[in-house]
Structure 1
Amino acid sequence: MGISMIKYLGELSSVLLTSSPFNLWRFKRSVERDLPGDEISYTSGRNGLSLTCDSDERINSIFIDSDIFDQALVEIPFLANRGEELDILGKPTKSGTGYRDTILGEYGAWDRFDKENYSIHIEYRPDAARIRRVTLMCTHVVP
């Protein structure tokens, strides 16, 4: 995965938000107070990037929408098929098959790759084997 994104896990949100090119993007900040600790989110829907942070504003998760996000900022080719992704990242720690939710619609298969200090979760498109979304997570928030 692009080191340029993984390096932000565990950092203060301000580190990412003031770095190029993110300092030029518009982010919406929201706070979820119904959880045991406040969860702070930053979303740039136009650029396909969302962050979730703890109450100290440290980034726990980074969500990347492959349809919108700038491919140059990551090392995984979004157009590669699932087999090619497995060649790049190796054997996944966990995987799941696609399914159809009666309310939310179709979801594609997924793979999770646990590393020493973070995890990479890749969700594939239901209609094709290419990437739909990439989630980077600190190990302490991996479900």
Structure 2
Amino acid sequence: MAMTEYLGQPISKMLEIEPFKSWPVQRIVEDDFEERLVQYVFEDSGLEVQCDGDDRVRAIFMYSEKHGGFDESLLDFSLASSREQVLAHLGTPSRSGEKMRDPIIGECGAWDRFDYTEPDLSAHFEYELDGRGISKFTLMRGDVVPGYRS
């Protein structure tokens, strides 16, 4: 099953199959927000899955080898891809940002977001500070993407 197909599905669909069912996972419930969120953190596998209070997948975060090491065989591209390679493959992004220094979280790499209507989702690429590879790849349901519906 493609990673995009898990969006909107119960997390149980993902947790029942390989390789996910073999990966150690920590479930974290966040009740401090307006809406209850449930995080599934596969720390040793470079994967985090954010769910609604009813355990339906809203976002999937996959980290490169430098940041946890998500299994690239589950993707159609390499997390070692440069920004130029991503743009050459996917075209013009819906939104982008350049490398910056945030006073709270520190340095952040450049990023590109691609919004799609069929299926209704966004793919977000955050690049390494040196531009050589993707540090984090995120898939989000369209209804949870910041600024997507505004």
Residue of structure 1 in register with 2:121 after alignment: 118
The one-character-per-residue Cα deviations of 1:17-64 (angstroms, maximum 9, x if unpaired) are 111110100110011101122101100110000011001100000000
The one-character-per-residue Cα deviations of 1:99-140 (angstroms, maximum 9, x if unpaired) are 112443211100000011100000001122411100100000
User: Which of 112, 128, 141 is the equivalent residue of 1:138?
Assistant: 141
Post-superposition offset of 1:95:
0.2
Kept in 2: contact 1:108–1:125 (CA 8 A): yes
| AA aligned opposite 1:83 | E
Residue of structure 2 in register with 1:92 after alignment: 93
Runs (4+) off by over 2 Å: 101-105
CA RMSD of aligned residues (A): 1.1
Aligned length: 141
| AA aligned opposite 2:136 | R
**Structure 2, unaligned runs of 5 or more:** none
Please give the secondary structure, in 1, of the residue aligned with 2:143.
helix
Kept in 2: contact 1:76–1:85 (CA 8 A): no
Matched, 1:34 2:45: no
Query: TM-score, normalised to structure 1's length?
Result: 0.94
Query: TM-score, normalised to structure 2's length?
Result: 0.90
Kept in 2: contact 1:113–1:120 (CA 8 A): yes
What aligned pairs does 1:37-116 form with structure 2 within 5 A after superposition?
37-67=35-65, 68-116=69-117
